[in-house]
Structure 1
Amino acid sequence: MHFQTSYNRGNYREFYQCLAEHDPALAKALTIDAADNSLLVSSDIYKDIIKCFADEILHSILEDIGQDVFCLLVDESRDVSCKEKMVVVLRYVDRCGVVKESFVGLVHVKDTTSANLKSSIDSLFARFKLSIKQVRGQGYASASNMRGEFNGLKSLVMRENSSAYYVHFFAHQLQLVVVAVARKHTGIAEFFSKISTLLNVVGGSSKRRDMIRDINLKEVSKALGRGLLETGIGLNQE
Protein backbone atom coordinates (compact mmCIF):
# COMPACT_ATOMS: atom_id res chain seq x y z
CA MET A 1 0.00 0.00 0.00
CA HIS A 2 1.38 3.42 -0.97
CA PHE A 3 0.16 5.13 2.21
CA GLN A 4 2.46 2.86 4.24
CA THR A 5 5.56 4.45 2.68
CA SER A 6 4.27 8.01 2.29
CA TYR A 7 5.71 10.76 4.49
CA ASN A 8 2.35 12.52 4.62
CA ARG A 9 -0.24 9.91 5.57
CA GLY A 10 -2.37 12.13 7.76
CA ASN A 11 -3.00 12.04 11.51
CA TYR A 12 -5.30 9.03 11.47
CA ARG A 13 -3.00 6.76 9.45
CA GLU A 14 0.05 7.86 11.42
CA PHE A 15 -1.77 7.00 14.66
CA TYR A 16 -2.99 3.72 13.11
CA GLN A 17 0.59 2.78 12.17
CA CYS A 18 1.96 3.81 15.59
CA LEU A 19 -0.54 1.58 17.43
CA ALA A 20 0.24 -1.34 15.12
CA GLU A 21 3.98 -0.96 15.79
CA HIS A 22 3.50 -1.04 19.58
CA ASP A 23 0.84 -3.75 19.80
CA PRO A 24 1.75 -7.09 18.13
CA ALA A 25 -1.82 -8.43 18.39
CA LEU A 26 -3.23 -5.33 16.72
CA ALA A 27 -0.50 -5.38 14.07
CA LYS A 28 -1.36 -9.01 13.23
CA ALA A 29 -5.07 -8.17 12.99
CA LEU A 30 -4.41 -5.20 10.72
CA THR A 31 -1.88 -6.86 8.44
CA ILE A 32 -1.56 -10.66 8.33
CA ASP A 33 -5.14 -11.54 9.32
CA ALA A 34 -6.79 -8.57 7.61
CA ALA A 35 -8.55 -8.90 4.29
CA ASP A 36 -7.64 -6.38 1.60
CA ASN A 37 -10.98 -4.66 2.09
CA SER A 38 -10.76 -4.64 5.91
CA LEU A 39 -7.75 -2.46 6.72
CA LEU A 40 -9.80 0.15 8.65
CA VAL A 41 -8.45 2.99 6.49
CA SER A 42 -11.67 3.84 4.66
CA SER A 43 -12.68 7.48 5.18
CA ASP A 44 -16.12 6.37 6.44
CA ILE A 45 -14.58 3.96 8.95
CA TYR A 46 -12.01 6.32 10.39
CA LYS A 47 -14.59 9.12 10.66
CA ASP A 48 -16.74 6.74 12.71
CA ILE A 49 -13.75 5.80 14.89
CA ILE A 50 -12.77 9.45 15.40
CA LYS A 51 -16.38 10.28 16.33
CA CYS A 52 -16.34 7.45 18.90
CA PHE A 53 -13.12 8.86 20.40
CA ALA A 54 -14.66 12.35 20.51
CA ASP A 55 -17.82 11.03 22.20
CA GLU A 56 -15.78 9.19 24.83
CA ILE A 57 -13.64 12.26 25.56
CA LEU A 58 -16.70 14.49 25.78
CA HIS A 59 -18.43 11.99 28.08
CA SER A 60 -15.37 12.01 30.35
CA ILE A 61 -15.35 15.84 30.48
CA LEU A 62 -19.07 16.04 31.30
CA GLU A 63 -18.68 13.30 33.92
CA ASP A 64 -15.88 15.36 35.50
CA ILE A 65 -18.12 18.43 35.67
CA GLY A 66 -21.26 16.61 36.82
CA GLN A 67 -23.55 19.06 38.63
CA ASP A 68 -20.67 21.35 39.62
CA VAL A 69 -20.09 24.87 38.37
CA PHE A 70 -17.87 25.95 35.48
CA CYS A 71 -16.83 28.94 33.39
CA LEU A 72 -17.99 29.42 29.82
CA LEU A 73 -15.42 30.54 27.22
CA VAL A 74 -16.70 31.36 23.74
CA ASP A 75 -15.17 32.76 20.57
CA GLU A 76 -16.38 32.93 17.00
CA SER A 77 -14.61 33.19 13.67
CA ARG A 78 -15.10 32.52 9.98
CA ASP A 79 -13.38 29.45 8.51
CA VAL A 80 -11.89 29.05 5.03
CA SER A 81 -15.29 28.01 3.64
CA CYS A 82 -16.70 31.37 4.84
CA LYS A 83 -18.91 29.75 7.49
CA GLU A 84 -19.16 31.37 10.90
CA LYS A 85 -18.12 28.94 13.64
CA MET A 86 -18.52 29.31 17.40
CA VAL A 87 -15.97 27.56 19.62
CA VAL A 88 -17.14 26.56 23.11
CA VAL A 89 -14.67 25.78 25.92
CA LEU A 90 -15.51 24.94 29.53
CA ARG A 91 -13.16 25.83 32.39
CA TYR A 92 -13.67 23.82 35.56
CA VAL A 93 -11.97 22.13 38.50
CA ASP A 94 -11.86 18.34 38.24
CA ARG A 95 -12.19 15.82 41.08
CA CYS A 96 -8.47 16.03 41.83
CA GLY A 97 -8.59 19.79 42.23
CA VAL A 98 -6.88 20.51 38.91
CA VAL A 99 -8.12 23.46 36.84
CA LYS A 100 -8.89 22.37 33.29
CA GLU A 101 -10.00 24.09 30.11
CA SER A 102 -11.67 21.60 27.75
CA PHE A 103 -12.92 22.14 24.21
CA VAL A 104 -16.46 20.74 23.99
CA GLY A 105 -17.95 21.99 20.76
CA LEU A 106 -17.63 23.74 17.42
CA VAL A 107 -20.99 25.07 16.29
CA HIS A 108 -21.91 26.52 12.90
CA VAL A 109 -23.87 29.77 13.40
CA LYS A 110 -25.72 31.51 10.57
CA ASP A 111 -24.99 34.92 12.05
CA THR A 112 -23.08 36.26 15.04
CA THR A 113 -25.79 38.26 16.76
CA SER A 114 -25.83 37.80 20.52
CA ALA A 115 -29.33 36.28 20.42
CA ASN A 116 -28.27 33.64 17.88
CA LEU A 117 -25.08 32.80 19.82
CA LYS A 118 -27.11 32.45 23.02
CA SER A 119 -29.61 30.18 21.26
CA SER A 120 -26.75 27.98 19.96
CA ILE A 121 -25.25 27.75 23.47
CA ASP A 122 -28.65 26.79 24.89
CA SER A 123 -28.99 24.01 22.30
CA LEU A 124 -25.47 22.76 23.06
CA PHE A 125 -26.12 22.79 26.82
CA ALA A 126 -29.42 20.93 26.32
CA ARG A 127 -27.55 18.22 24.39
CA PHE A 128 -24.91 17.99 27.13
CA LYS A 129 -27.53 18.15 29.93
CA LEU A 130 -25.87 21.23 31.40
CA SER A 131 -27.58 24.33 32.76
CA ILE A 132 -26.87 28.05 32.49
CA LYS A 133 -27.34 28.08 36.28
CA GLN A 134 -24.05 26.17 36.59
CA VAL A 135 -22.08 28.94 34.89
CA ARG A 136 -19.91 30.97 37.28
CA GLY A 137 -17.89 32.93 34.77
CA GLN A 138 -17.87 34.09 31.16
CA GLY A 139 -14.82 34.82 29.01
CA TYR A 140 -15.23 36.52 25.62
CA ALA A 141 -13.43 38.99 23.38
CA SER A 142 -14.28 42.70 23.28
CA ALA A 143 -16.74 42.65 20.36
CA SER A 144 -20.03 44.38 21.13
CA ASN A 145 -22.09 41.26 20.36
CA MET A 146 -20.12 39.42 23.07
CA ARG A 147 -19.63 41.93 25.88
CA GLY A 148 -22.39 44.46 25.12
CA GLU A 149 -23.79 45.98 28.31
CA PHE A 150 -27.46 45.63 27.33
CA ASN A 151 -27.84 43.08 24.51
CA GLY A 152 -24.48 41.33 24.36
CA LEU A 153 -24.08 37.60 25.00
CA LYS A 154 -22.67 38.43 28.44
CA SER A 155 -25.85 40.30 29.39
CA LEU A 156 -28.19 37.63 28.00
CA VAL A 157 -26.48 34.96 30.12
CA MET A 158 -26.47 37.16 33.24
CA ARG A 159 -30.21 37.73 32.93
CA GLU A 160 -30.64 34.02 33.58
CA ASN A 161 -27.77 33.69 36.03
CA SER A 162 -26.48 36.76 37.87
CA SER A 163 -23.49 34.73 39.17
CA ALA A 164 -22.03 34.29 35.69
CA TYR A 165 -19.53 37.14 35.97
CA TYR A 166 -17.81 38.35 32.81
CA VAL A 167 -14.02 38.58 32.43
CA HIS A 168 -12.34 39.77 29.24
CA PHE A 169 -10.12 37.22 27.45
CA PHE A 170 -6.61 37.69 28.85
CA ALA A 171 -5.17 35.90 25.82
CA HIS A 172 -6.96 38.39 23.56
CA GLN A 173 -5.54 41.29 25.57
CA LEU A 174 -2.05 39.81 25.14
CA GLN A 175 -2.68 39.45 21.40
CA LEU A 176 -3.60 43.14 21.16
CA VAL A 177 -0.40 44.07 23.01
CA VAL A 178 1.72 41.90 20.69
CA VAL A 179 0.06 43.43 17.60
CA ALA A 180 0.59 46.97 18.91
CA VAL A 181 4.27 46.28 19.67
CA ALA A 182 4.84 44.55 16.31
CA ARG A 183 3.44 47.55 14.44
CA LYS A 184 6.09 49.75 16.06
CA HIS A 185 8.87 47.59 14.57
CA THR A 186 9.57 48.86 11.04
CA GLY A 187 10.78 45.54 9.61
CA ILE A 188 7.86 43.50 10.98
CA ALA A 189 5.32 46.14 9.97
CA GLU A 190 6.64 46.23 6.38
CA PHE A 191 6.69 42.42 6.18
CA PHE A 192 3.05 42.03 7.19
CA SER A 193 2.06 44.99 4.99
CA LYS A 194 3.59 43.28 1.95
CA ILE A 195 1.96 39.94 2.85
CA SER A 196 -1.41 41.68 3.18
CA THR A 197 -0.97 43.41 -0.18
CA LEU A 198 0.08 40.16 -1.85
CA LEU A 199 -2.94 38.28 -0.47
CA ASN A 200 -5.30 41.04 -1.60
CA VAL A 201 -3.79 41.26 -5.09
CA VAL A 202 -3.69 37.49 -5.68
CA GLY A 203 -6.89 36.60 -3.82
CA GLY A 204 -8.93 39.23 -5.62
CA SER A 205 -8.48 37.68 -9.06
CA SER A 206 -9.03 34.13 -10.28
CA LYS A 207 -6.59 34.81 -13.15
CA ARG A 208 -3.82 35.73 -10.71
CA ARG A 209 -4.54 32.62 -8.64
CA ASP A 210 -4.21 30.49 -11.78
CA MET A 211 -0.90 32.20 -12.59
CA ILE A 212 0.43 31.37 -9.11
CA ARG A 213 -0.77 27.76 -9.45
CA ASP A 214 0.92 27.42 -12.88
CA ILE A 215 4.21 28.80 -11.54
CA ASN A 216 4.04 26.50 -8.53
CA LEU A 217 3.23 23.51 -10.76
CA LYS A 218 6.36 24.15 -12.84
CA GLU A 219 8.55 24.46 -9.74
CA VAL A 220 7.12 21.27 -8.18
CA SER A 221 7.51 19.39 -11.48
CA LYS A 222 11.18 20.39 -11.65
CA ALA A 223 11.77 19.30 -8.06
CA LEU A 224 10.01 15.96 -8.67
CA GLY A 225 12.13 15.40 -11.78
CA ARG A 226 15.32 15.98 -9.80
CA GLY A 227 14.20 13.72 -6.95
CA LEU A 228 14.03 16.61 -4.47
CA LEU A 229 10.34 15.96 -3.76
CA GLU A 230 8.06 12.92 -3.64
CA THR A 231 4.45 12.67 -4.67
CA GLY A 232 1.59 10.53 -3.42
CA ILE A 233 -1.67 10.66 -1.49
CA GLY A 234 -1.90 14.15 0.03
CA LEU A 235 1.72 14.89 -0.96
CA ASN A 236 2.62 17.41 -3.69
CA GLN A 237 -0.53 16.82 -5.68
CA GLU A 238 -2.63 19.44 -7.46
Structure 2
Amino acid sequence: MRKQKKVILRNAQMVALDIQKDIARCFAEIIVKSIIEEINGDVFCLMVDEPSDVSGKEQMAVFLRYVDKFGIIKERLIGVVHVTETSSSCLKSNIDVLFGKYGLSIKQVRGQGYDGASNMRGEFNDLRAFIMRENSSAYYIHCFAHQLQLVIIAVAKKNDDISDFFDMVSLLINVAGASCKRKDMIRESQQERELVNQ
Protein backbone atom coordinates (compact mmCIF):
# COMPACT_ATOMS: atom_id res chain seq x y z
CA MET A 1 0.00 0.00 0.00
CA ARG A 2 1.10 3.46 -0.79
CA LYS A 3 1.54 5.91 2.08
CA GLN A 4 -0.46 9.08 1.95
CA LYS A 5 1.49 12.27 2.34
CA LYS A 6 0.35 14.84 4.82
CA VAL A 7 0.22 18.35 3.49
CA ILE A 8 0.82 21.06 6.04
CA LEU A 9 -0.10 24.59 5.10
CA ARG A 10 1.85 27.20 6.96
CA ASN A 11 0.80 30.81 6.77
CA ALA A 12 -1.84 29.91 4.19
CA GLN A 13 -3.62 33.20 3.65
CA MET A 14 -5.73 32.08 0.69
CA VAL A 15 -5.49 35.50 -0.94
CA ALA A 16 -5.03 34.37 -4.53
CA LEU A 17 -8.11 35.19 -6.61
CA ASP A 18 -8.35 31.64 -8.02
CA ILE A 19 -8.27 30.13 -4.53
CA GLN A 20 -10.94 32.54 -3.28
CA LYS A 21 -13.15 31.70 -6.28
CA ASP A 22 -12.68 27.97 -5.63
CA ILE A 23 -13.62 28.39 -1.97
CA ALA A 24 -16.71 30.43 -2.94
CA ARG A 25 -17.71 27.76 -5.50
CA CYS A 26 -17.34 25.02 -2.89
CA PHE A 27 -19.54 26.90 -0.42
CA ALA A 28 -22.12 27.58 -3.15
CA GLU A 29 -22.24 23.88 -4.07
CA ILE A 30 -22.72 22.85 -0.44
CA ILE A 31 -25.52 25.40 0.03
CA VAL A 32 -27.34 24.42 -3.18
CA LYS A 33 -27.08 20.71 -2.32
CA SER A 34 -28.63 21.43 1.09
CA ILE A 35 -31.47 23.31 -0.66
CA ILE A 36 -32.06 20.36 -3.00
CA GLU A 37 -32.08 18.00 0.01
CA GLU A 38 -34.59 20.27 1.74
CA ILE A 39 -36.89 20.12 -1.32
CA ASN A 40 -36.56 16.32 -1.11
CA GLY A 41 -38.04 15.59 -4.54
CA ASP A 42 -41.15 17.68 -3.84
CA VAL A 43 -42.66 20.42 -6.03
CA PHE A 44 -41.48 24.02 -6.22
CA CYS A 45 -41.93 27.28 -8.10
CA LEU A 46 -39.32 28.51 -10.55
CA MET A 47 -38.37 32.18 -10.68
CA VAL A 48 -35.92 33.54 -13.22
CA ASP A 49 -34.47 36.98 -13.88
CA GLU A 50 -31.99 37.93 -16.57
CA PRO A 51 -29.91 40.86 -15.29
CA SER A 52 -26.55 41.91 -16.64
CA ASP A 53 -23.59 42.31 -14.28
CA VAL A 54 -21.35 45.38 -13.90
CA SER A 55 -19.09 44.19 -16.72
CA GLY A 56 -22.07 44.00 -19.09
CA LYS A 57 -22.28 40.18 -19.24
CA GLU A 58 -25.77 38.75 -19.55
CA GLN A 59 -26.70 36.46 -16.68
CA MET A 60 -29.62 34.39 -15.56
CA ALA A 61 -30.48 34.20 -11.85
CA VAL A 62 -32.52 31.10 -10.95
CA PHE A 63 -34.54 30.95 -7.72
CA LEU A 64 -36.69 28.18 -6.30
CA ARG A 65 -39.64 28.84 -4.03
CA TYR A 66 -40.87 25.91 -1.97
CA VAL A 67 -42.40 24.89 1.33
CA ASP A 68 -40.07 23.05 3.72
CA LYS A 69 -41.07 20.16 5.99
CA PHE A 70 -42.07 22.63 8.73
CA GLY A 71 -44.50 24.45 6.42
CA ILE A 72 -42.28 27.50 6.01
CA ILE A 73 -42.17 29.13 2.57
CA LYS A 74 -38.59 29.54 1.39
CA GLU A 75 -37.18 31.34 -1.60
CA ARG A 76 -33.61 30.36 -2.46
CA LEU A 77 -31.12 31.27 -5.18
CA ILE A 78 -29.69 28.11 -6.72
CA GLY A 79 -27.60 29.59 -9.48
CA VAL A 80 -26.39 32.56 -11.46
CA VAL A 81 -25.57 31.37 -14.95
CA HIS A 82 -23.75 33.30 -17.66
CA VAL A 83 -25.87 33.24 -20.82
CA THR A 84 -24.78 34.23 -24.31
CA GLU A 85 -28.16 35.80 -25.01
CA THR A 86 -31.47 36.28 -23.24
CA SER A 87 -33.64 34.57 -25.80
CA SER A 88 -36.19 32.20 -24.31
CA SER A 89 -34.62 29.14 -25.96
CA CYS A 90 -31.18 29.99 -24.52
CA LEU A 91 -32.66 30.57 -21.04
CA LYS A 92 -34.62 27.30 -21.22
CA SER A 93 -31.56 25.26 -22.27
CA ASN A 94 -29.53 26.78 -19.42
CA ILE A 95 -32.32 25.95 -16.94
CA ASP A 96 -32.29 22.36 -18.25
CA VAL A 97 -28.52 22.16 -17.71
CA LEU A 98 -28.82 23.59 -14.18
CA PHE A 99 -31.69 21.25 -13.31
CA GLY A 100 -29.75 18.29 -14.70
CA LYS A 101 -26.75 19.21 -12.58
CA TYR A 102 -28.82 19.11 -9.38
CA GLY A 103 -31.20 16.28 -10.27
CA LEU A 104 -34.27 18.50 -10.59
CA SER A 105 -37.03 18.09 -13.17
CA ILE A 106 -39.34 20.48 -14.97
CA LYS A 107 -42.12 18.07 -13.90
CA GLN A 108 -41.59 19.28 -10.28
CA VAL A 109 -42.36 22.90 -11.23
CA ARG A 110 -45.80 24.10 -10.07
CA GLY A 111 -45.38 27.78 -10.77
CA GLN A 112 -43.30 30.18 -12.83
CA GLY A 113 -42.55 33.75 -11.84
CA TYR A 114 -40.84 36.26 -14.11
CA ASP A 115 -40.81 39.96 -14.79
CA GLY A 116 -42.85 41.30 -17.66
CA ALA A 117 -40.16 40.92 -20.34
CA SER A 118 -41.52 39.53 -23.60
CA ASN A 119 -38.92 36.74 -23.76
CA MET A 120 -40.15 35.45 -20.38
CA ARG A 121 -43.93 35.66 -20.25
CA GLY A 122 -45.11 35.23 -23.82
CA GLU A 123 -47.70 32.64 -24.74
CA PHE A 124 -46.13 30.94 -27.77
CA ASN A 125 -42.33 30.89 -28.07
CA ASP A 126 -41.15 32.26 -24.77
CA LEU A 127 -39.79 30.73 -21.57
CA ARG A 128 -43.22 30.43 -20.02
CA ALA A 129 -44.52 28.55 -23.08
CA PHE A 130 -41.48 26.26 -23.30
CA ILE A 131 -41.93 25.16 -19.69
CA MET A 132 -45.73 24.84 -20.03
CA ARG A 133 -45.21 22.46 -23.00
CA GLU A 134 -43.25 20.11 -20.73
CA ASN A 135 -45.40 20.62 -17.64
CA SER A 136 -48.94 21.97 -17.88
CA SER A 137 -49.02 22.35 -14.06
CA ALA A 138 -46.35 25.05 -14.12
CA TYR A 139 -48.69 28.05 -13.96
CA TYR A 140 -47.29 31.50 -14.73
CA ILE A 141 -47.56 34.32 -12.18
CA HIS A 142 -46.19 37.77 -12.88
CA CYS A 143 -43.56 38.69 -10.29
CA PHE A 144 -45.33 40.85 -7.69
CA ALA A 145 -42.10 42.49 -6.51
CA HIS A 146 -41.52 43.67 -10.08
CA GLN A 147 -45.10 44.96 -10.29
CA LEU A 148 -44.64 46.87 -7.02
CA GLN A 149 -41.41 48.36 -8.31
CA LEU A 150 -43.18 49.53 -11.49
CA VAL A 151 -45.95 51.12 -9.42
CA ILE A 152 -43.44 52.95 -7.20
CA ILE A 153 -41.55 54.23 -10.25
CA ALA A 154 -44.76 55.44 -11.90
CA VAL A 155 -45.95 57.20 -8.72
CA ALA A 156 -42.53 58.73 -8.06
CA LYS A 157 -42.42 60.19 -11.57
CA LYS A 158 -45.80 61.89 -11.08
CA ASN A 159 -45.24 63.24 -7.56
CA ASP A 160 -42.28 65.52 -6.81
CA ASP A 161 -42.43 64.92 -3.04
CA ILE A 162 -42.22 61.16 -3.45
CA SER A 163 -39.47 61.49 -6.05
CA ASP A 164 -37.49 63.69 -3.64
CA PHE A 165 -38.08 61.18 -0.82
CA PHE A 166 -36.62 58.29 -2.86
CA ASP A 167 -33.69 60.48 -3.95
CA MET A 168 -32.95 61.26 -0.28
CA VAL A 169 -33.25 57.58 0.72
CA SER A 170 -30.86 56.65 -2.09
CA LEU A 171 -28.33 59.27 -0.94
CA LEU A 172 -28.66 58.16 2.68
CA ILE A 173 -28.03 54.52 1.74
CA ASN A 174 -24.98 55.50 -0.31
CA VAL A 175 -23.53 57.64 2.50
CA ALA A 176 -24.23 55.11 5.27
CA GLY A 177 -23.23 52.10 3.16
CA ALA A 178 -19.86 53.54 2.24
CA SER A 179 -18.54 53.54 5.81
CA CYS A 180 -18.23 50.66 8.28
CA LYS A 181 -18.21 53.17 11.15
CA ARG A 182 -21.50 54.69 10.00
CA LYS A 183 -23.04 51.22 9.66
CA ASP A 184 -21.95 50.37 13.22
CA MET A 185 -23.40 53.67 14.51
CA ILE A 186 -26.74 52.93 12.83
CA ARG A 187 -26.80 49.37 14.27
CA GLU A 188 -26.02 50.63 17.78
CA SER A 189 -28.70 53.31 17.50
CA GLN A 190 -31.24 50.72 16.30
CA GLN A 191 -30.36 48.36 19.19
CA GLU A 192 -30.78 51.18 21.71
CA ARG A 193 -34.22 51.99 20.25
CA GLU A 194 -35.26 48.34 20.47
CA LEU A 195 -34.18 48.19 24.12
CA VAL A 196 -36.13 51.36 24.95
CA ASN A 197 -39.26 50.02 23.19
CA GLN A 198 -39.19 46.74 25.13
Superposition TM-score, scaled by structure 2 size = 0.74
Instruction: Say whether 1:69 aligns with 2:40.
Output: no
Equivalent position of 1:144 in the other structure: 118
For the residue of structure 2 that corresponds to 1:78, the secondary structure is coil
Equivalent position of 2:133 in the other structure: 159
Q: Name the Cα RMSD after superposition.
A: 2.2
Equivalent position of 2:18 in the other structure: 44
Equivalent position of 1:184 in the other structure: 158
CA contact 2:66–2:73 (8 Å) conserved in 1: yes
Equivalent position of 1:169 in the other structure: 143
CA contact 2:120–2:126 (8 Å) conserved in 1: yes
Give 1:34 deviation, angstroms. 7.3
Q: 1:123 aligns with which of 91, 94, 97?
A: 97
Q: Give deviations 1:119-177, integer Å, cap 9, x for gaps.
A: 11111111111100000000001111111011111111000000000000000000001
**What is the alpha-carbon distance in structure 1 between the residues aligned to residue 15 and residue 89 of structure 2?**
42
Give 1:189 deviation, angstroms. 5.4
For the residue of structure 1 that corresponds to 2:51, the secondary structure is strand
For the residue of structure 2 that corresponds to 1:105, the secondary structure is strand
Give 1:75 deviation, angstroms. 0.6
Q: Which amino acid in structure 1 is aligned with residue 157 of structure 2?
A: R
Bigger Rg over Cα: 1
Q: Which amino acid in structure 2 is aligned with residue 130 of structure 1?
A: L
Q: Which 5+ residue runs of structure 2 have no aligned equivalent? A: 1-7, 167-198
Q: 1:109 aligns with which of 83, 98, 104?
A: 83
Instruction: Say whether 1:91 aligns with 2:60.
Output: no
Q: 1:134 aligns with which of 108, 121, 138?
A: 108
CA contact 2:155–2:162 (8 Å) conserved in 1: no
Percent sequence identity over aligned pairs:
60
Superposition TM-score, scaled by structure 1 size = 0.62
Equivalent position of 2:32 in the other structure: 58
If asked which structure has higher relative contact order (CA below 8 Å, sep 6+), I would say 1
Equivalent position of 2:176 in the other structure: none
Give 1:91 deviation, angstroms. 0.3
**What is the alpha-carbon distance in structure 2 between the residues aligned to residue 48 and residue 79 of structure 1?**
20
Equivalent position of 2:178 in the other structure: none
Q: How does 1:15-34 map to 2 (within 5 A)?
A: none
**What is the alpha-carbon distance in structure 1 between the residues aligned to residue 90 and residue 118 of structure 2?**
14
**What is the alpha-carbon distance in structure 1 between the residues aligned to residue 165 and residue 149 of structure 2?**
18
